[in-house]
Structure formats: structure tokens, C-alpha cells
């Protein structure tokens, strides 16, 4: 009894030390993980491609390559010729400038028997063109009334910019990621001075003209039966922070992709709170796929919720430094799911569902059991990876029940990439209104890309037509329907 009394404090101290050791291990693991993440941010993104160590096709560092025997020499007949590489014909839609080169001899009496044509490709820099509209003025001698034709409607009333130039400035910024100040420099090289404020005003005017198309696109996305959702930040100059040098507001673009119709919609919000998707999706009923962000949880009673295997896989990829063998096994199992999807790329929805049930579901069941047996410290990278997947398992495996649902959210993430590229060039939006205008433009231009529509041609035509276009026929100007209606 006395011995137990003496050992009790030691046992309590030992338990306390074990608890502190466990907490320290978790903290060290978390700090190592954060250090690796910071390295990736500083030194560049790391590819998430995973090649297993037991890949037989990949040689190890000290393994000699197999010796290949020399092929038997081919018997070449006297009549056989070595094939010359065939150059692909240049596209027919490009304009041709014909240059005829006559031989430097007296051609009198010669009979032409044909010609040889050689086509090469040249680049002619785009040139600004002045459109001069001349309107003769007449007077009626009986009434002294002056008669003159009206100017056609233009995108910007009394402005000097034609639709093609306006479209060019917008495409340069939002598709080719060329900031306005660089465009000013390019125009200066062409011998014309256009103030930065003028070009920024043109972009704002174009966005305002496109608002009805953005509103209609919003309606069509919400009518879709399957939406993928994600969000991405944008730095915004805010008057409230203007007094603090270098400080900007962190706004968010909430991106919605109607996967079946290939329509992209950006909705700008000043924060990442629930109000963003809450207002946009409040009446939506259908399939909603996301990365598992908690802001989407409020819709679980009104939608069929799906999560994204690409996001789950990313956690396991990042856990390799913390638990290499476990993480690599997890990546191999997820790789089996993606192998099924690669084979079903051209399959119908019915076929995708059937094959997923036969091949993907058994993999998912075994994988889940294995994850439950290999839980770890909750704050470690491996623990986070396991908890992320298991806490969302029902939404992760649900894609196998519907052939139209994708295994991941990569389609909407691809739609976000132009925004990320743009941020690196123009760095921030000048105001909250400017960020909203950019959302309008990005929505329509990204939808153009989804439907292989030339954005310069589309926007030039739309800006030419929209000032007088009937609102009831607004659908004709949307990118995915434009080819059927363009004038």
C-alpha cells in the first residue's frame, strides 16, 4: 500500500510526459509540413504527379540500362527511296499574298506547262485603322431643313473606339494577361498615345454592356442539374485600407461551372463567408460538387452533394514527407480510381455508372477500411489526410452512383487558372466595382474557351450588335449559342 502511494506521483508524471511528448511530436510534424508548404510557395509549385517506387519501367540511379542488340540491317531495293517528312499545309482561312517570280530569261516563245507553289508564313503586326464616316449634308429648299444620315449605334456613344479595338483591349488583358499599362506602351510604339485612364474606361464600359449577358448566364447555370463550385482570392484596393501602404482587401471570386452545358459563372464577393454561395445557391436544386469547404454544407438538404477526389489526393501527396509508405499506398489506391476514369473518357453516362459500380466501388470499400485501420495523430499531415477523406467519405464515393458526375472538380479548377495568371500580371483590382466587372468579363470569356469560340471574334461581334439587340433575343449573343446567330 505504501509502495503504491510512492509510485502514484511517478505514474502521473510519466503520463503527463507522454502526453507532452505526443503534443510535441504533433507540433514538430505540423511545423515540418508548414515548412515544406512555404518552400513550395517560395521556390515554385511542385508537381503532384506520383510514380511508385516499384515501377518496373523506371530505372534506379545505379541500375544499368538493358543492352539492346543491334537490329538486322534492312535490305534496300534499288527502287526504294527514303521518305521525306511531309510539311502540314497552312490553314486555308489565312489571307494569301501572291508573289509571282518569273525566270530571268527571255520568255518569248516559251510555253507555260505549270507552276510550282511554295508557301511560307509571315507575321504582319496589327495596325490601328481610322474609320472615317462621311455624312453628306443636304438642305430642303422649301423648308430649309437640313438632312443628314444618322451615325450607326456604337458601343460607347461619342467614343473613338470601334468594337474591334474595344475587344482587343479586353482580350489582351483578360485572355493574354497583358496589363493596361503595357498596352499603353504597345500603342505608343504604333505612334498613338492613349492614356491609361482611357483604356481603363473602355474596359469598364465593355463590362457594363455585358452585364445582361452575365445575368442571363447566371440563370442558365442555376437551371443546370449539375454544378461544380470553387473559389479563388483576388486582391482589391479598398478605400478603407488606403491609408496603409501596400494593404489591399482580400476578395473572392466564387466560380460555378455547369458541367453538362460547359458554362462558367464568376460571382465576386468581398469575403469567403457563407453569404457568397448562400445568396447565389439559395434556390438551387440539383447536384453540387465542391472541395468540401464548410460554406457549402448549408445546402446538403436541398442538393445532392459531391466532393472532389483531386482535393483528397492532394492531402495524401503532401503527407509523403510525414508518412511515406502510408501516403504512397493511398496514392496508389486513388490512382486505381483514376485509371477507371481514363478508360471511361468516351463512355456514356450509363456505361460510366455500370463500370464504376463493378470496378471502383470495391477499391473504395477496401481503401476506406484500410484508412480506418491506419489513423494517426490528428494534427499531423497524414492524420489530416485521413480525417479529410473519412469525414467526407459519403460525398467522395457518391460519384459512382451517377455517370454524369465527375470524379473531381478539375473542370472548374481549370476555369480558375486564367484568373491566377491574370493576378500575377495586374496584381489587384482597382476597386470592388472593378473586381465585379472583371467577374462579368471572365465569366463570358471562359465560357468562350469551353466552347472553342474565338474570343476576339465573339466580343467584336457582340459589341457591334448589343447596343440595338432585342433583350428577348439575348441568348443569341451568349458564347455557346453565338455561332448559330452571328451576322
pLDDT by 10s per residue, the chain, length 487: 555 566 777 777 777 777 777 777 666 766 666 666 566 555 445 556 665 655 444 333 333 344 444 444 444 444 445 566 666 788 888 888 898 888 888 888 888 888 898 888 887 777 888 889 899 999 999 998 999 999 888 899 888 899 999 999 999 999 998 999 999 999 998 888 999 999 999 999 999 999 999 999 999 999 999 999 999 898 888 776 655 666 888 899 999 999 999 999 999 999 888 888 989 999 999 999 998 888 898 888 899 999 999 999 999 999 988 889 999 999 999 999 999 999 998 899 999 999 999 999 999 999 999 999 998 777 788 999 999 999 999 999 999 999 999 999 999 988 888 777 777 766 678 889 999 999 999 999 999 999 999 999 999 999 999 999 999 999 999 999 998 666 5
Give the DSSP letter string of 19-53: HHHHHHHHHHHHHHHHHHHHHHHHH-PPP-----T
Helices (H), 374-406: 381-391, 393-397
- For residues 434-444, b (16+ Cβ closer than 10 Å) or e, as one string? bbbbbbbbbbb
Task: Give the closest residue to 266 by CA, choosing from 80, 43, 415, 150.
Answer: 415
Helices (H), 427-482: 432-450, 455-465, 479-482
- Helix, strand, or coil (residue 113): coil
What gap in Å lies between CA 382 and CA 326, rounded to an integer? Answer: 8
Residue 190, C-alpha cell as written in the block: 504604333
Question: Within its chain, how far is the Cα of 251 from the centroid?
Answer: 18
- For residues 144-163, b (16+ Cβ closer than 10 Å) or e, as one string? eeeeeeeeeebbbeeeebbb
- Cβ neighbours of 280 (radius 10 Å): 19
Q: Per-domain residue ranges for the chain?
A: 163-210+451-482, 309-408
Q: Supply the Cα-derived Rg of the chain in whole angstroms.
A: 32
Task: Give the closest residue to 456 by CA, choosing from 227, 170, 110.
Answer: 170
- The DSSP call for residue 357 is I
What gap in Å lies between CA 353 and CA 259, rounded to an integer? Answer: 17
What gap in Å lies between CA 452 and CA 322, rounded to an integer? Answer: 43
Amino acid at each position: 500500500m505504501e509502495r503504491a502511494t510512492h509510485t502514484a506521483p511517478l505514474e502521473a508524471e510519466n503520463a503527463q510526459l507522454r502526453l507532452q511528448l505526443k503534443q510535441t511530436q504533433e507540433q514538430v510534424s505540423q511545423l515540418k509540413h508548414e515548412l515544406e508548404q512555404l518552400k513550395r510557395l517560395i521556390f515554385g509549385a511542385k508537381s503532384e504527379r506520383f510514380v511508385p517506387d516499384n515501377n518496373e519501367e523506371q530505372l534506379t540511379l545505379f541500375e544499368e540500362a538493358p543492352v539492346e542488340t543491334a537490329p538486322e540491317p534492312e535490305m534496300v531495293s534499288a527502287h526504294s527511296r527514303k521518305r521525306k517528312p511531309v510539311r502540314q499545309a497552312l490553314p486555308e482561312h489565312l489571307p494569301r499574298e501572291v508573289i509571282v517570280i518569273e525566270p530571268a530569261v527571255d520568255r518569248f516563245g516559251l510555253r507555260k506547262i505549270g507552276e510550282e507553289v511554295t508557301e511560307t508564313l509571315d507575321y504582319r503586326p496589327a495596325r490601328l485603322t481610322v474609320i472615317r464616316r462621311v455624312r453628306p449634308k443636304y438642305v430642303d429648299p422649301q423648308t430649309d431643313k437640313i438632312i443628314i444620315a444618322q451615325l450607326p449605334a456604337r458601343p460607347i456613344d461619342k467614343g473613338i473606339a470601334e468594337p474591334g479595338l474595344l475587344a482587343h483591349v479586353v482580350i489582351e488583358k483578360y485572355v493574354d494577361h497583358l496589363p493596361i499599362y503595357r498596352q499603353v506602351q504597345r500603342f505608343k510604339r504604333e505612334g498613338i498615345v492613349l492614356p491609361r485612364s482611357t483604356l481603363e474606361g473602355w474596359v469598364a464600359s465593355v463590362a457594363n454592356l455585358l452585364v445582361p449577358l452575365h445575368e442571363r448566364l447566371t440563370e442558365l447555370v442555376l437551371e443546370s442539374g449539375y454544378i461544380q463550385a470553387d473559389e479563388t482570392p483576388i486582391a482589391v484596393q479598398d478605400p478603407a485600407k488606403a491609408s496603409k501602404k501596400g494593404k489591399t482587401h482580400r476578395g473572392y471570386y466564387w466560380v460555378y461551372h455547369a458541367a453538362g452545358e460547359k458554362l462558367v459563372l464568376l460571382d465576386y464577393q468581398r469575403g469567403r463567408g457563407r453569404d457568397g454561395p448562400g445568396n447565389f445557391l439559395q434556390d438551387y436544386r440539383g447536384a453540387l460538387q465542391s472541395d468540401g469547404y464548410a460554406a457549402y454544407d448549408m445546402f446538403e438538404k436541398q442538393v445532392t452533394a459531391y466532393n472532389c477526389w483531386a482535393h483528397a489526393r492532394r492531402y495524401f501527396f503532401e503527407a509523403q514527407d510525414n508518412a511515406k509508405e502510408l501516403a504512397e499506398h493511398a496514392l496508389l489506391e486513388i490512382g486505381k480510381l483514376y485509371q477507371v476514369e481514363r478508360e471511361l473518357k468516351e463512355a456514356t453516362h450509363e456505361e460510366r455508372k455500370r463500370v464504376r459500380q463493378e470496378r471502383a466501388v470495391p477499391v473504395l470499400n477496401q481503401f476506406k477500411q484500410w484508412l480506418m485501420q491506419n489513423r494517426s495523430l490528428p494534427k499531423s499531415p497524414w492524420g489530416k489526410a485521413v480525417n479529410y477523406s473519412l469525414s467526407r467519405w459519403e460525398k467522395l464515393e457518391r460519384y459512382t452512383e451517377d455517370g454524369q458526375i465527375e470524379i473531381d472538380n478539375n473542370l472548374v479548377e481549370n476555369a480558375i487558372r486564367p484568373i491566377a495568371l491574370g493576378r500575377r500580371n495586374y496584381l489587384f483590382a482597382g476597386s470592388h466595382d472593378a473586381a465585379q466587372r472583371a467577374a462579368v468579363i471572365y465569366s463570358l470569356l471562359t465560357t468562350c474557351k469551353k466552347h472553342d469560340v474565338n474570343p476576339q471574334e465573339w466580343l467584336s461581334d457582340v459589341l457591334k450588335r448589343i447596343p440595338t439587340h432585342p433583350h428577348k433575343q439575348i441568348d443569341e449573343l451568349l458564347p455557346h449559342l453565338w455561332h448559330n446567330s452571328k451576322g
